[in-house]
Amino acid sequence: AEAAAAVFGEPDVLVNSAGINLRPPFGELGEEVWDTTMTVNLEAPFLLGQRFGPGMAERGFGRIIHITSQQAHRAFVQSGAYGVSKGALESLARSQAEAWSPYGVTANTLVPGFVMTPLNQR
């Protein structure tokens, strides 16, 4: 966040689109997979929001956009920790909206449709 702000200045728009989807069977899902998934999919957007959201609010304008997933609403293909992280990300967006919308900052989620990629082939 600091390196990007140093080069480009404070942003008006933050898009959290990075994600990781590790898929062990839920009964075999260990702490390492859980922690890695939550770090990338939830903690990073939280920390970036905490870093940039207050400045957006102070300037009176900002947009925070989180890319979530249909798996936030329904589990499929061993979505385990991924689905949980995306559901939590949607809840994070609601909390950010509640905190900063009075100051001109919106926080929303985008839920893409199913995209056929090698990860989803089966």
Q: Which of 82, 85, 88, 100 is catalytic?
A: 82
Question: Tokens 């102070």 map to which residue?
Answer: 58
Residue 12 to residues 65, 75, 77, 113, 120: CA-CA distances in angstroms? 11, 33, 36, 26, 33
Assess whether 82 carries a catalytic annotation.
Answer: yes
For residues 85 and 20, the answer to whether their CB atoms sit within 8 Å is: no
Q: Which amino acid is at 26?
A: F
| Per-residue tokens: 69 | 């997933």
Alpha-carbon gap, residue 69 to 83, rounded angstroms: 7
* Residues with catalytic function: 82
